[in-house]
Amino acid sequence: MVCPVGRKHVELWSGYTMLVLAVITVLVDPAHWANLVLAVLLAAAGTALAVHGHRIHAPVLEFDEQEFRYTLGRYTVSLDPEQIGSYHVLPGRIRSLGLCDTTGRPMRFPSLRNRRTARSYLPLTGMTDPARVEMFMAAAGIPPRDRSLTRG
């Protein structure tokens, strides 16, 4: 499952739109210096946005019988599916996937960008639909974490 990245799409569309506007600006009046300066500025901004948009990575969740994998760019977490007892999706602007071991304790993962020593969740994106994550985890055979205080 690949999480959608809204910022990536916005930056790509904005960058390519600015590049098209730069071409149109030059075609309207190529002899006027103001149009040339505007076209250069639009092209520079559009190129910067498009390049940055292409560099944004989306998190990918994969599973098979031997391995559960989370990948974000060069960062990869591989786990044996029997180590995972349950999961929960943390709400918020940027959703995250929390995994628990078979005893119910949160699993710890190495930091994504050396900001922390360890983290207890795997970041998804704000556009990730929690229902889609639940369907994926159900297909992987991992039950949701029971967060209630009473069982029943």
pLDDT block averages, 10 residues each, the chain of length 152: 79 95 92 92 96 88 86 84 87 83 85 66 81 86 70 46
Contact (CB, 8 A) for 67 and 132 = no
C-alpha 140/C-alpha 152 separation (Å) is 24
Q: Can you give the pLDDT at residue 112?
A: 62
CA torsion through residues 139, 127, 99, 86, sign: negative
Residue whose C-alpha is closest to residue 3's, from 47, 88, 61? 61
Q: Can you give the pLDDT at residue 126?
A: 74
Q: Can you give the pLDDT at residue 149?
A: 47
C-alpha 104/C-alpha 107 separation (Å) is 9
Q: Can you give the pLDDT at residue 116?
A: 60
| pTM metric for this prediction | 0.71
What H or E segment, with its residue span, contains residue 5? none
Which one-letter DSSP state was computed for residue 117? Answer: S
- Start-to-end CA distance of the chain, whole Å, equals 32
Contact (CB, 8 A) for 7 and 15 = no
Q: Can you give the pLDDT at residue 152?
A: 43
Q: Can you give the pLDDT at residue 93?
A: 75
